[in-house]
Structure 1
Amino acid sequence: MAERPSEESKPGSGEGHDGSSIPDEEWEKFVRDSEREIAGSAPKEPSARARMVTERLRQQEARGELPEGWRTGPAGRDMEGRAARRRGLWAIIGVPVALAVVVVAMKPSLLPGDPFGTGGPETAAASPLPAETAAPTAPPSSADPETPTLDRPFAGSPALRWADGEAGIALPKATPVGTLSKAQVEQALRQTKSLLVDANLDPATLRGEHPETALGVIEPGQTDLLGLLNTSLRTPDEKHDPLTMFSRFDPAETRLVGDVVKTRGRMTFKPGEQGSVAVHADYTFVYPLVQTNGSPEVTRTIVRRALDAELSDPTKYQVTPGKITVLRYDQEIGNSACDVYDGYLHPDFSTTEPTGAPPSGPTTDPYDRSQGIEEDGEEEGCGTVSRV
């Protein structure tokens, strides 16, 4: 146990540099030692020495003889200062931060990358559709009435969720058909896809150039068909219209926005006549377009095509191995000038005068794939579209 301090160490018997009776360093050491002694005795009954020290400190505090802040010490005062500074800082930045938290809580999509995985309505609306395996039972629901732009050319269109270009033409799994092997059936499917891709997606074809690949997969023995198509490409007119098979735009008038054409549809096959495999394709292509005059207005032309082709067994029939015979082809075109036979599609823009004759047919939804083209019958006149 420490001995009782001498008279010289009592308060009032000396002079510190700040006027206190004991130098600061000794006094603080004395206080710390005393507090440690008191704390170290708990939970035992305090010793007489501890009670004496505690009583002395209480009396000295009551007389105002203890330094300011002796209970907390310098560390406590420093912490209190930091707390005050933090409170001051919160007064400066607290309100803006609180507002930001509220805004993000109401609309997490404002944060880049959706860090909370909320998958809000806009994200869900743009998620890709699964591949089409059967005819839809109804037209696609209406999208938000957004205006297409150069940065978002498919805004407000059901095609926003469709596949990009060739990825939208997914081939079914081939199986043997009749005397044709799995490989021959797969070849028929690939050739049909090649025709569709070159006729409707190839940039050169879309600019009006000659679709060599599409013409090259057709059975050379179909001389009438090939003659008709080649004539329509060279000198188009009402009876020789290349748009019945190919999608083409006048490069002096319009151009595609970006390099994406949205595609949706399906391809099926079954046994055909005369030892063949019959392939049926039904696809819709959506083209975002802008005028070449510098106008930023974006519009879309929608083309739906149905194609029936077959590949026959070359060991039984006089056909060219690997070539397909086109049995039927048809189309529906939305947002293009009526009764214009120059070999190009002419989309309508609100900032220019319409090209061709005024529409006289019914209003249709170009995105509606719930009915086959063959079920619509022949329409009189050129109609209008309910949306683009």
Structure 2
Amino acid sequence: MSTAPPPERSDQPDEPAAISDEQWDTFLRDTVEGGGPPGPKEPSARARMVARRLREEGEREAAAAAAGRRFGRRRKAALAPTEPPGWRTGPTRQEKRRGPLWAVLGVVLAVAVCLIALRPSLVLDHIPGGRSAGETAPSSAAPGDTDGEATLAHPFRGTPAEAWGEGADAIELPEAKAVKGFSEVDVALALRLTKEYLGGTNLDPEVLRGGRPDKALALLDPKQPGAVQQILRSLRDPDAKNDPAMYVSRFDYARVRPAGDVVKVRGRMTFAAGRPGEVKVHADYTFVYPLVQRASGDGRVARTIVRRDLTTTLLDPAKWTSTKGKLAVRSVSTYNYNSECDVFDGYLHPVFPGDAPTGAPPTGDPHDPYDWNGTVPRDDCGRITRS
């Protein structure tokens, strides 16, 4: 009998077992010489093909396994220096714990950068020497000139005001917060009344064409009559001492008309606790008015610029003689740019390009009306570098 290992079995159960060549030769020899067991049945051609295929696949798998053992470590050693940690193999346990945390921190940082870009006050309000709480516009030097000349279609062209906000919407209120003796609701009321007063004295179309600022005056406390009486006196009998332009922006529409219906506005508003029972609101705003002459009809645009520095107060009736829900004007400083000097008829008179002023010539150091550095100039009628 042959000592060869048993034949390989097919993975198909219905196929007969394959017989090796060595077994077949032994059978033939025993048959010729006589004796020996009966010969095995010769496998079919299909059986031989399946057996050969299985042997070849086994040999290929063995060769592949041997090749992997021979070259696998060298390949890994060659790639190791160029692979970042965790590549293919995944993060370590420490990295798995740290990964989500860093992802969250990254998102938070990205959101913070976007918020600061949109609202710098979120940082400046908490930096010593930064912006005060409640400030809605930065105090900064005016940007440089832009290209082009003003036209009726583009009356602010060539000035920084072209990028400013428009009308009352540009008077943005700071977030109200409670201060000593006043709730958040009280502070919000003081801010809102101050905004309405600014609009009523500087943006109301009826007032701009020469009317009385009745809506603004109705906001003021009748028990604090000083400001009301002063404004009414100046409107009734304007002169150098009682000049309504100190309080109200008005133009003589018999001589000029607006170049469009837009007034550009930029400024800031802050609030703080004042004396016991008093909350103070400080507003510093610049208004830019574009106008054209009615008589000439040549389309030349002049811009008169008014900067008002206003302080109002809301008083507690329990501590002061005052009316609940009414505003008091504590101080106002005004500077009018590109308006005739020493003309006190109750109106602002713009100086148009190419025209010489009819009143007294401007005096003092030149000043940029779009510059927000420093305080409001105190010159009665100063020179300006541009309008």
Q: Percent identity?
A: 48
For the 8 Å contact 1:136–1:369, the answer to whether it is kept is: yes
Q: Does 1:213 align with 2:212?
A: no
Superposed, 1:1-388 pairs within 5 Å as: 133=136, 135-137=138-140, 139-293=141-295, 294-373=297-376, 376=377, 378-379=378-379, 382-388=381-387
- The letter for the 2-side match of 1:384 is R
Counterpart of 2:125 in structure 1 is none
- Cα RMSD for the two superposed structures: 1.9
Separation (CA, whole Å) in 2 of partners of 1:361 and 1:339: 14
Q: Give CA deviations for 1:332-387 in whole Å, capped at 9, x if unaligned.
A: 111000011001111111354422111222210000112122xx4x33x5222111
For the 8 Å contact 1:274–1:312, the answer to whether it is kept is: no
- The letter for the 2-side match of 1:383 is G
Separation (CA, whole Å) in 1 of partners of 2:357 and 2:252: 15
Separation (CA, whole Å) in 1 of partners of 2:167 and 2:148: 22
TM-score by length of 2: 0.63
| Aligned residues between the structures | 256
Separation (CA, whole Å) in 2 of partners of 1:370 and 1:129: 20
Secondary structure of the corresponding residue to residue 353 of structure 2: coil
Secondary structure of the corresponding residue to residue 266 of structure 2: strand
- The letter for the 2-side match of 1:370 is N
For structure 2, the residue ranges without an aligned partner over 5 or more in a row are: 1-117, 122-134
Separation (CA, whole Å) in 2 of partners of 1:134 and 1:257: 26
TM-score by length of 1: 0.63
For the 8 Å contact 2:136–2:173, the answer to whether it is kept is: no
Separation (CA, whole Å) in 1 of partners of 2:184 and 2:362: 47
For the 8 Å contact 2:266–2:285, the answer to whether it is kept is: yes
1:133 CA drift (Å) = 3.4
For structure 1, the residue ranges without an aligned partner over 5 or more in a row are: 1-127
- The letter for the 1-side match of 2:384 is V
Would the alpha carbon gap of residues 259 and 130 (structure 1) be closer, same or farther in structure 2, given more than 3 Å must change?
farther
Secondary structure of the corresponding residue to residue 364 of structure 2: coil
Separation (CA, whole Å) in 2 of partners of 1:363 and 1:372: 15
1:329 CA drift (Å) = 0.3
Separation (CA, whole Å) in 2 of partners of 1:336 and 1:146: 23
Secondary structure of the corresponding residue to residue 362 of structure 1: strand
For the 8 Å contact 2:208–2:250, the answer to whether it is kept is: yes
Secondary structure of the corresponding residue to residue 154 of structure 2: coil
Considering only CA atoms, is the larger Rg found in Structure 1 or Structure 2? Answer: 2
Separation (CA, whole Å) in 2 of partners of 1:219 and 1:320: 6
